[in-house]
Amino acid sequence: MSSNSVVISFIRDMKDSRKDDHLMITPSTSQSVFNISYRDHLNKVRNLSTVGEREIFDFIDNVFNLLPLDRDPFTHFQIIAPAYPAVLLDIATMYNPAVRDSVMSIVKNTLRNWPTVADKPVARRPVTRSQTSTA
């Protein structure tokens, strides 16, 4: 997955990623508009829309509300976003309001302050012994 996207993966089987579904959000060329893609790998279906921030929150909220009702349930979900560590959670934690609020906060903060991706790593100057001395 791109490091310049928000990805929420819905995992059915931890041993077979081909069964995962992926929700991906990327910035659009227009300000305050985003591309949202949902890929269902089992059924080989991909939906893509260009929407505003409110529609993204509504979409994620609807997905989170429907997942507990799924007859072919996912076991885990993972959120990956620029400037955040990847987090893997049991699907049951979705019932916890703090977890849902945290996921939505990560998405909101990323949409409103989309980090830029460096083309190349920043070179760090080696630290010499005299620079680390406190005496």
What's the pLDDT tens digit per position in 26-44? 998 888 899 999 998 878 8
Asked if residue 125 is part of any domain, the answer here is no
Q: Starting from the edge strand earliest in sequence, which strands make up the sheet with 21-27, in order?
A: 45-52, 33-40, 21-27, 6-11, 76-80, 87-90
pLDDT for 63-91, tens place per residue? 988 888 888 889 999 999 998 999 999 99
Residue 43 lies in a domain: yes
Residue 122 reports pLDDT greater than 70: no
Rounded percentage of the chain residues whose pLDDT exceeds 70: 83
Tell me the residue range of the domain where 92 lies: 6-119
Q: What is the pTM of this model?
A: 0.79
In a domain, 35, yes or no: yes
Instruction: Look at the chain and report how many structural domains it folds into.
Output: 1
83 occurs within a structural domain: yes
In a domain? residue 129 = no
Distance CA 8, CA 87 (A): 10
Dihedral (Cα; 34, 40, 44, 45), 10-degree rounding: -40
Amino acid identity at 109: N
- The answer to the question of residue 124 being in a domain is no
**Residue 1 belongs to a domain:** no
Instruction: Examine the pLDDT at 117 and tell me if it is beyond 70.
Output: no
**Domain for residue 12, yes or no?**
yes
Contact at 8 Å (CB) between 22 and 39? yes
Residue 131, pLDDT above cutoff 70: no
Q: How far apart are CA 79 and CA 86, in angstroms?
A: 6
